[in-house]
Structure 1
């Protein structure tokens, strides 16, 4: 994510800040112009006090554009659930920032709005997933201990809240960017036949004893379960890449001219090879820094030629969609 500045003193502020640590100015993120500004009268989201939402409202709305997308909130009877919901909404706002930068809509071709159900499994088990634009997330995933236990149980090298959001929205964008478009045939060629029975494929995936998989062909083990999941995993990794490169743009590093050109706006970089040329050494560097601090790799994945081809298809589908939208405007 790009670096923001306090509109009063110009000191750096983070995407989550509600106030400048240097001068105390109350801050609000304006999603329309993708920038931080002073919080004006009647601009505070109603969730600002309860979960620290720092997005400003639009017009006479009580809630900001991010909070309005949460269709169902968890039971807020206890402080723990409020804390976990806060983490959920912080991750969701980062996802929406990604989508805004990519100029991807939050409505389907039929006009259905993307919405989020954030549910607690205190009574009934909640499965994180996507169905027709509705993204359901289990509140327990915001608990670091619970999420780490699930990561180990499912033998996943990486499991984060933001990763969940980016993966599930990937299913929505398969419908928008690939299904019934000129990219459907290339998708079948690169990812496989998505018409195979989904529930059977998922059941087979979870019941198999052998957890080994072709690491040259898939970005993760879960990507092997079905072509739709392979797309969602790959879409999430594309967002990981452009978002991290966007953060790199604000660091005091010595880069060549082509790299600086890419970092002007990684979300709009038309040359996929230029993105990867920056990402590969950056991801290795991040991992080495983590190891120096005694931490696990931040990006424990290798981008093989096959995975590179899949990422490239995601990039092409997004770029083609934007071009079509410009022509239609």
Structure 2
């Protein structure tokens, strides 16, 4: 996220802010300008008062481009659920921003389109499984509860588990369908990721029932990526979004960079030079981890990008470039 500035007092503000802490100006993020503007100059999303959505909308829809993607909202019977939903939508706005900056389609010719069901366990009467089906992403509201999410992260031996990470992973499944399936990329996909036609349900069951939890960290970005080629793609797609989004943030930080790095950071979402992106990411992720350790915190990016994983990331980048060039 490039640096945002309050239009009234020129103070730096965060992407999530609805008001400037310096001057009190009410703020709205205008997606058309990709910048914050005064709330007096734009139409607020209908969810602004309820969950502090700080995005603008227009006369065609009461909800902003991110909120209108939510098909089902959770049960709002409790203040806790409202607070958790606020966190979910906040993360989803980051995802929506990623997709807009990458110029990726939100729908495909088959009719599938991105939508979200944000569900709570007490309404369903059974545990909600976060997942994806033909563009519809289901998110368990409890994933916004830090304690519950951390417990699941530890139980599943995951080095990283965030709301935004979930969204980026699940939307990756949609973009396998949109960018790879039924395209000229399907053959190289199978060479790199494996044969996705093997039974998905059986593969996941085998993964969860494995007694031996060792896995090939040279070939996969995460243990879960080993379960099935679709999950390998989704995990890799999510990491590509992690990379370009973080580099976009780095573009406006007071860093000492050479001219080539500054060119790459001009718009990492649209950068065509994959090696330039990865070279810069190596330096940025190392710096983030060192800073976190100085604060006594865990690594911000606890992953190692091997040559095989870099190749998979490169394939994701090529698939995005191909789709963008054809649109």
Q: How does 1:4-15 map to 2 (within 5 A)?
A: 4-15=4-15
- 1:14 and 1:109 map into 2 onto residues whose CA distance is 36
1:261 aligned residue: 263
The answer to whether the 8 Å contact 1:58/1:65 transfers is: no
Report the equivalent of 1:194: 196
**For this pair of structures, how many residues does the alignment match?**
325
Structure 1 segment 1-329 matched on structure 2, within 5 A: 1-40=1-40, 43-122=43-122, 123-325=125-327
Tell me, in whole angstroms, the C-alpha distance in 2 between the residues paired with 1:192 and 1:307.
13
CA distance in 2, matches of 1:174, 1:291: 35
Q: Is the 8 A contact 1:177 1:321 kept in 2?
A: yes
Structural RMSD (CA): 1.0
**Ranges in structure 2 where 5+ consecutive residues have no aligned partner:** none
Paired with 1:313 and 1:243, the residues of 2 have a C-alpha distance of: 18
Structure 1 range deviating more: 32-41 or 283-292: 32-41
Tell me, yes or no, if the aligned pair for 1:117 and 1:134 is still in contact at 8 Å.
Answer: yes
- What secondary structure is seen at the aligned counterpart in 1 of 2:121? coil
> SS at the partner of 2:80?
helix
SS of equivalent residue, structure 1 residue 266: coil
Residue deviations 1:203-244, cap 9 Å, x none?
Answer: 000000111100000000000000000000000000000000
Q: Residue deviations 1:151-194, cap 9 Å, x none?
A: 00000000000000000000000001101111111100000000
CA-to-aligned-CA distance 1:127-149 (integer Å, 9 cap, x gap): 00000110000001000000000
Aligned with 2:57: secondary structure? coil
Name the CA distance, whole Å, in 2 between partners of 1:217 and 1:283.
20
* TM-score where L is the length of structure 1: 0.97
Structure 2 CA distance, aligned partners of 1:162 and 1:268?
A: 21
Report the Cα offset of residue 42 of structure 1: 7.2
Following superposition, the deviation at residue 307 of structure 1 comes to: 0.2
**Stretches of 4+ moved more than 4 A in 1?**
none
Q: Distance in 2 between matches of 1:175 and 1:112?
A: 9
**Deviation at residue 41 of structure 1 after TM alignment:** 6.6
Distance 1:221 1:42 in 2: 45
In structure 1, stretches of 5+ residues that fail to align are none
Measure how far apart 1:33 and its partner are. 2.3
- Contact residue 108 and residue 133 of structure 1 kept, 8 A: no
Shift of 1:32: 2.1
